[in-house]
Amino acid sequence: MGARTKGRRRATDVLYAADVRGVPVAEILAQEASRAEHEPERATSWAFARQILLGVGEHRDEIDELLTTYSRGWPLDRMPAVDRAILRVGVWELRWSSDVPPSVAITEAVESAKTLSTEDSGRFVHGVLGRIAELPTSP
């Protein structure tokens, strides 16, 4: 697994943990940053995870609005928590990360959903992110 894939997975884990535990992402982020300091082999993936987490935090309202609009009948609170986390990472990459091609962001999110969530989650994540990827980008 590449460093960016690991970074996405770490970001998803942090978002999921914060959601399920009902604590701010910043709290889990601080714990993980401390842990990463003592594990040099995590440095590359952690840097990307941190970038994702800070980006998701900065654009959380916009991300959740896009998810609510394009999930077609699936309110955020009805989605499995892991799907919400995966989708938030994917939307951030699609809309605010200029160095990640849309096809890569979608493929990575779908693979995470297939691995971490329900049998139908891969198709669901693909559909939502595919619709969002078709939106015009902001100047």
Give tens-digit pLDDT for 12-27: 999 999 999 999 998 8
CATH architecture of 3-133: Orthogonal Bundle (1.10)
Ranges of the chain whose pLDDT falls below 70: 138-139
* Contact (CB, 8 A) for 36 and 43: yes
DSSP code string of 77-101: GGS-HHHHHHHHHHHHHHHH-TTS-
Task: Give the three-state DSSP class for 115.
Answer: helix
Domain boundaries, the chain: 3-133
Give tens-digit pLDDT for 68-91: 999 988 899 999 999 999 999 999
